[in-house]
Structure 1
């Protein structure tokens, strides 16, 4: 196994329509009383020869003589693919397919740490400087895309219009991030208050929906201190503890699958942090690793590992959603 592969194993709303079946969401419809095939096709926007042919092929066993419709029968409609558009993901990824509606109705507030005048924790990798805010932001964007691909509504609280999702190992440090268009203050208290108020304002507009907030950070410790991904919740927040536990369980499972002899030491604990105390939705604070430790740095500089982090966070949030809505 090459060194690169070994390191990778360490981690392991505008809509567009495009014809086709791959990734499409299946739809069904019944014929109305007295409705002929032509009227049924028109009502269901099946107005091209290709779509009509697909409809007949999909439903040939359910059609009557001379391809007539039968009352009370559910017919499968060749669904057009739904594409979403989000410029924050960057030119190459701004247009993407809706894969499922499993998270339809769920609202997520994603807050990547620091940004603007504050780069957060800094680590050295050779002659390169790794900045917490850049890597936390890239992973948060990847998570946002995954959530949107599966029907969730996303609010990126910290935004950088120029960066997008980046595949480079070394992400250039800049200071043009905003809090949803607002300049980020240098003062830490004002900075935390700004993003908290933004989340709470949106939360009140979405009352009644399933809502979660995830705060994404990168830790800084001594160079020799490698750490696993770990999670905080607000003191006395039962749902916060459950949500954090759902994500941790995914990470524990993934490590068991990919590195069964390594073990996973991530933990869930309560902490009296400003964002955890002040935000209205259930909030989980995640620390992704030590940006100063060589082993942990592989989680950040390798694009595949950043995507793995995003995927596992997504699976944890999905598990929390299912636990709360599918009882």
Structure 2
């Protein structure tokens, strides 16, 4: 009798437990985020990210960081059936209708209405963040009697980038905002302290200021990732070095949060800029770089992000990149094309 009971239990377990047996476990590599961890185990992050978090929420660190040496459950493969009965392992994000026009007052009276001319970025969402703002002007350069404030030039380029992305069919969250300035075609941009973080006053304390913009991005991303198949954040800054140091645009990727995708994005941006310089200034060359940094905003922002330094605000040649409006527009256009390259 005992022998028969054991056999029944054994065969019962065979039929009940396959799902449990299919539940893989693994430990993360150094610097690996949830998305790259899932990709390494042949799981699409867009489909399995939430499942992974639910399975392992008790083991995750702050901001859903993976801990070295900890064994994590890998979600079992899902299968859905197409109309032809074929098995599919990709879950499509619901398609959103392409708008023909977007109204964004932040661009200014004459540019507020944005005609959507392409669907190359349909299904994407971007968080565009210009550095500093409010009580913090960032780096300050000088041309004659004019002061060049980093936050003003980064903001103008951020607005231009946001508008370009919208024209390509993307959803865009402009994190740092100035209700008055809009996109400006002046060489020397007037300085102010009006900027807010999506309507909230920007703190003077640096950590609070950075955490505030990360919180805004993360709150939107929690909702956006359910509706958009590609979400990315970009932080736009202007560097400050010795006056004689000319620099090209350079890019930082995260060393901690979703490092693989962040590095890929930074490299795609850099490659795009390199090709543009090769076309428009073939004898000049391009010395922009990509490197990993443990910057606060890169480490504390949930979606994949990239940090861009547009040049040296102290250098006479780099200043031309900022004060000539057509150059600011070119920078924004190339950043947009970098996103398209990465999205493809």
Fold match (TM-score > 0.5): yes
**Alpha-carbon offset, residue 82 of structure 1:** 2.3
List structure 1 runs of 4+ shifted beyond 4 angstroms. Answer: none
Aligned to 1:133: 151
**What SS does structure 2 have at the residue aligned with 1:270?**
strand
Aligned to 1:286: 308
**CA offsets 1:286-312 (integer angstroms, 9 cap, x no match):** 000000100000000000000000000
Aligned to 1:171: 189
In the alignment, the residues of structure 1 paired with residue 110 and residue 255 of structure 2 have an alpha-carbon distance, to the nearest angstrom, of: 41
Q: Of 230, 244, 252, which residue of structure 2 is paired with 1:224?
A: 244
**CA offsets 1:202-234 (integer angstroms, 9 cap, x no match):** 110112421000000000000000100000011
Q: Of 295, 306, 315, which residue of structure 1 is paired with 2:328?
A: 306
TM-score for the superposition, normalised by structure 2: 0.70
**CA offsets 1:64-108 (integer angstroms, 9 cap, x no match):** xxxxxxxxxxxxxxxxx9222110000010012110122111000
**Alpha-carbon offset, residue 252 of structure 1:** 0.1
How many pairs were matched up? Answer: 243
1:320 aligns with 2:320: no
Q: Of 112, 137, 141, which residue of structure 1 is paired with 2:130?
A: 112
Aligned to 2:166: 148
The CA RMSD over aligned residues, in Å, is 1.2
In the alignment, the residues of structure 2 paired with residue 313 and residue 150 of structure 1 have an alpha-carbon distance, to the nearest angstrom, of: 13
**What SS does structure 2 have at the residue aligned with 1:256?**
helix
In the alignment, the residues of structure 2 paired with residue 100 and residue 129 of structure 1 have an alpha-carbon distance, to the nearest angstrom, of: 38
**CA offsets 1:227-278 (integer angstroms, 9 cap, x no match):** 0000001115010000011111110001101111111000110000000001
**What SS does structure 1 have at the residue aligned with 2:310?**
strand
In the alignment, the residues of structure 1 paired with residue 209 and residue 315 of structure 2 have an alpha-carbon distance, to the nearest angstrom, of: 27
Structure 2 residues without counterparts, runs of 5 or longer: 1-98
TM-score for the superposition, normalised by structure 1: 0.73
**What SS does structure 2 have at the residue aligned with 1:116?**
coil
In the alignment, the residues of structure 1 paired with residue 292 and residue 261 of structure 2 have an alpha-carbon distance, to the nearest angstrom, of: 12
